[in-house]
């Protein structure tokens, strides 16, 4: 479903627009720079310290990274505005590097160098984070000189999803991320992409004052709602949230809620799903028992000469004798014991097939 902000993207052509003056504005739009730019020493990328800089500012207020901009405007193919609200309302978690992320990290340096060659300047990745208004951004590349006053911003992308041959092919989420960087530093942003055809192209991202104003106003409204734990704003997002996200955001109260017929149908769906799951587990166990009776000590089963199943021995799992460890080394257990987050369990009552 198109975002309500999709109209801001119309009119982008293959001909790049030059960035307007730092101190000029177009009629009907506010000034580009509204608060002083703050420079922050960048912790190692992906660490908890790095995540916290993108999570809260020095006053403890919600702040967004440039990569959060697409989700803020519901333009991300991966993350919704509701997902973003949840992540900004809970403690950041360090995630493992995926294979796709690892490939991007390996290629980033080469693409930064290539972008510099194409622009005729030397570029590098700064060791600085930049904060203005509600955004705290990390940049892939800037011109070599001083990290405090870059003249040019470079954004690097590698993608297996898109074929990009001109500026009109640049995905909306890339545009919003680049505009967020432009909002913070008020500098031209160049995008370099290694696309799914292994073609490298680069583009100057057109300046869009309406998009910049939208980012400024929406980020302030969104982050203020996070800071204030605004229940009305949360109510507009609740239909997009999972049970796990709602558990993280709302502590249970000793009260009941009367549900209507449509809502009760979801209770029936849950009961039916649990019945089906139980039946599937029973069927799986019966099938495994029957197969074991005719395979006996054989490792491979074939049908018509084609292998259809294997039943091989695996090494036993290594486990820790927690009871003994707790009895003999209670201080050590206490030191390394981590308390998990509270959880909520749904149990059916007065429903056929309840569980």
Sheet of strand 135-138, all strands in order from the earlier edge strand to the far edge: 38-41, 128-132, 135-138
pLDDT tens-place string over residues 192-228: 999 999 999 999 999 999 999 999 999 999 999 999 9
Domain 6-249: state its class: alpha beta
* Three-class secondary structure of residue 347 per DSSP: coil
Indicate whether 136 pLDDT > 70: yes
Q: H or E element: which one contains 194? A: strand 189-194
pLDDT tens column, 279-335: 999 999 999 999 999 999 999 999 999 999 999 999 988 999 999 999 999 999 899
Would you place residue 29 in the very low, low, confident or very high pLDDT band (cuts 50, 70, 90)?
Answer: very low
Residue closest to 245 by CA, chosen among 82, 96, 93, 95 = 82
Nearest to 349 by CA among 270, 280, 295, 290: 270
Per residue in 220-274, pLDDT tens?
Answer: 999 999 999 999 999 999 999 999 999 999 999 999 999 999 999 999 999 999 9
Beta bridge mates, 309: 301
Burial call 107-132: b when 16+ CB within 10 Å, e when fewer: ebeebbebbbeebeeebbbbebbbbb
User: Over 28-74, what HEC string results?
Assistant: CCCCCCCCCCEEEECCCCCCHHHHHHCCECCCCCECECHHHHHHHCC
| Non-local CB neighbours of 152 within 8 Å, separated by 6+ positions | 119, 121, 123, 142, 143, 187, 188, 190
Q: What is the pLDDT of residues 4-15, one digit of tens each?
A: 665 565 444 333
Break the chain into its structural domains and give their ranges.
6-249, 257-298+342-355
What pLDDT was estimated at residue 4? 63
- CA 268/CA 351 separation, integer angstroms: 7
pTM of the model: 0.81
Helix ranges restricted to H, the chain: 48-53, 69-72, 81-89, 99-119, 172-185, 209-228, 231-237, 243-249, 261-295, 322-328, 330-336
């Amino acid at each position: 479903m198109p975002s309500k902000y999709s109209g801001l993207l119309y009119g982008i052509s293959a001909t790049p627009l030059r960035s307007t003056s730092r101190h000029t504005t177009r009629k009907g739009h506010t000034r580009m720079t509204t608060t002083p730019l703050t420079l922050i020493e960048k912790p190692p990328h992906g660490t908890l310290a790095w995540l916290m800089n993108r999570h809260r500012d020095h006053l403890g207020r919600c702040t967004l990274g440039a990569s959060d901009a697409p989700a803020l405007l519901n333009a991300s193919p991966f993350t919704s505005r509701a997902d973003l609200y949840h992540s900004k309302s809970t403690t950041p978690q360090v995630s493992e590097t995926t294979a796709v992320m690892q490939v991007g990290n390996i290629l980033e340096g080469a693409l930064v160098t290539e972008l510099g060659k194409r622009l005729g300047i030397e570029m590098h990745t700064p060791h600085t984070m930049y904060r203005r208004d509600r955004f705290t951004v990390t940049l892939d590349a800037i011109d070599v000189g001083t990290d405090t006053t870059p003249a040019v911003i470079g954004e690097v992308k590698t993608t297996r999803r898109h074929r990009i041959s001109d500026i009109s092919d640049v995905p909306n989420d890339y545009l919003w991320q680049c505009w967020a960087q432009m909002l913070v530093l008020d500098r031209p942003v160049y995008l370099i992409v290694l696309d799914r055809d292994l073609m490298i192209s680069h583009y100057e991202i057109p300046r869009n004052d309406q998009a910049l104003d939208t980012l400024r106003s929406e980020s302030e409204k969104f982050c203020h709602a996070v800071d204030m734990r605004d229940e009305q704003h949360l109510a507009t997002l609740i239909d997009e949230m999972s049970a796990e996200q709602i558990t993280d955001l709302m502590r249970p109260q000793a009260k009941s809620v009367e549900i209507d017929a449509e809502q009760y149908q979801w209770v029936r769906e849950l009961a039916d799903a649990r019945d089906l799951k139980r039946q599937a587990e029973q069927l799986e166990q019966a099938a495994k028992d029957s197969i074991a009776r005719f395979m006996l000590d054989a490792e491979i089963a074939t049908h018509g000469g084609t292998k259809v199943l294997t039943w091989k021995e695996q090494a036993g799992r290594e486990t820790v004798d927690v009871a003994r460890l707790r009895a003999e080394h209670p201080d050590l257990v206490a030191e390394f014991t981590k308390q998990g987050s509270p959880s909520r369990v749904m149990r059916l009552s007065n429903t056929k097939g309840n569980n």
